[in-house]
Amino acid sequence: MKRYTLTPAERATYLRYARLALPRHTSYPTAPVWTTKYRPADFRADLRNSAAAGKPLSLYVHIPFCERLCYYCACTKEIVPPTKRREHDPGDEFLQGLERETDRFAELVGTGEVRQVHLGGGSPTFLTAGQLERLWTILIRRFAVAPAAEVAVEIDPRITSPEQLQTLRGLGFNRVSIGVQDFAPNVQLAVNRIQPIETVSRAVESCRKLGFASVNFDLIFGLPHQTLETMKETLDRVVELGPDRIAFYRLAVIPEIFRWQNVFKSTDLPAGELSLDLNLLAINRFTEAGYEFIGLDHFAKPTEDLARARADATLHRSFQGMTTGKNLDVIGLGPSAISQLDEAFAQNVKTSGEWRAAVYSDFATERGLRLTADDRLRRELMQQLYGYGCIEKRTIESSFGIPFDDYFADECLRLVELAGDGLVELGDGGIRLTEPLGWLLLRVVAAVFDQYLPRNAYRDGLSFNQSSRVG
């Protein structure tokens, strides 16, 4: 079995590049490039184009509410403790706004077949069982959800009740994503997420008994106080619980944006070779346990839909990470939600109050971007790199009608430098990441093709808007 290991020379190369702050490319162009000049009228026109093209759809609903703040979190959320919720439950007002927003979308794209639904947050299971039923009714009254659609929900096992899980399964939800992060008690304390393994184990057991087809875990490395010993213990427990899919993310430490991260002390955060070794430990542990390594930070059992999508060349990288949703237009519902169309990105206003006020009069679009032909070309390059670790020149040339080496002449020169450092292999047919160094530094290679970055950002350590360090 192949193991990910680095020679001393490769380690030195990794550490040199790991200091760079570069995008993760969950979209291309990345969100900091989008502009507030993109207005609801622009979005409406792009939605009409999507409908005219007959694109199938994916629905993403962002439920922003959480009972507690997790210090690692980079998501848009609103903290509503139980005492505050007893005075005023924002769930009902959220659903009223959702009803108005779905009406607006349904007028333009409601006839498109919905092949995916994803509830994210925040904590979707902040909503009561009754509120979850109402949410689902709002969606299916306005959209044609396919019988075989993937219907997924993120759950917080600390607050998710058996009744909520039964309700979700009864409504047709077939995939559950559980926020785990780490099982070490001192790590959980440092990030303000106390969640004993027994809590997660009970949630997994309930999901299995109810018949959810896929149970997924989200894990984070780079958290305070993580060591190789504590990480090994966490990984062993994860393998014992046997999730079907795993996302193993690098902590994005950007305290100037996420101010609550100022509680982290730099001396408590793993860095340098420890951060690298935590990542290598997980990759090898999961692959030894039979998971396939997919993209930058995902793992899946060979029979899971994500692994099958990779085999079928239908992987897609989005704000939900690696997904099976290639060729779907994403409709984003709720505060801060992002719509991803073939021709454009559009993001809603971020707070629930602003969002509710907006959807009563128009779309809640705060900013977005209409893609150029060059954007769409480079977006496809990013999809190939992050999904498959290679760029097939002939495929790009036939799809976009360009001579690859001429169009990307400057980028090809920069790739020669990365090839010299052992990150990529260059050939007449294409560009391929090396294993393991190139895969570990995938973001560095992708930065070469990002037209919106400074030309030498892939090597000069320039901090790009809202970007975290590579390693």
- Per-residue pLDDT tens over the stretch 324-346: 988 899 999 999 999 999 999 99
Asked whether residue 144 carries a pLDDT value surpassing 90, the answer given is: yes
pLDDT in the model for residue 62: 98
Using only the alpha carbons of the chain, give its radius of gyration: 22
Of the CA atoms within 13 Å of residue 258, those in its CB half-sphere come to 19
pLDDT in the model for residue 325: 82
Distance CA 244, CA 156 (A): 17
> Under CATH, which number does the domain 33-370 receive?
3.80.30.10
Q: What is the residue-averaged pLDDT of the chain?
A: 95
Distance CA 216, CA 15 (A): 31
Q: Nearest Cα to 346, choosing from 118, 111, 45? A: 45
The answer to whether the 33-370 and 373-469 domains have the same CATH topology is no
Tell how strand 21-22 and strand 65-66 pair up.
unpaired
CB-CB contact of 346 with 43 (8 Å): yes
pLDDT in the model for residue 258: 84
Entry pTM: 0.95
Eight-class DSSP state of 35: B
- Per-residue pLDDT tens over the stretch 422-445: 999 999 899 999 999 999 999 999
CB-CB contact of 221 with 278 (8 Å): yes
Q: Domain locations in the chain?
A: 33-370, 373-469
- pLDDT tier at 446, thresholds 50, 70, 90: very high
Domain 373-469 annotated CATH 1.10.10.920: yes
pLDDT above 90 coverage of the chain, percent = 89
Mark residue 318 as left, alpha or beta (left: phi above 0; alpha: psi -120 to 50; beta: remaining).
beta
Eight-class DSSP state of 261: G
- Per-residue pLDDT tens over the stretch 24-45: 999 999 999 999 999 999 999 9
- pLDDT tier at 457, thresholds 50, 70, 90: confident
CB-CB contact of 299 with 291 (8 Å): yes
Distance CA 411, CA 418 (A): 11
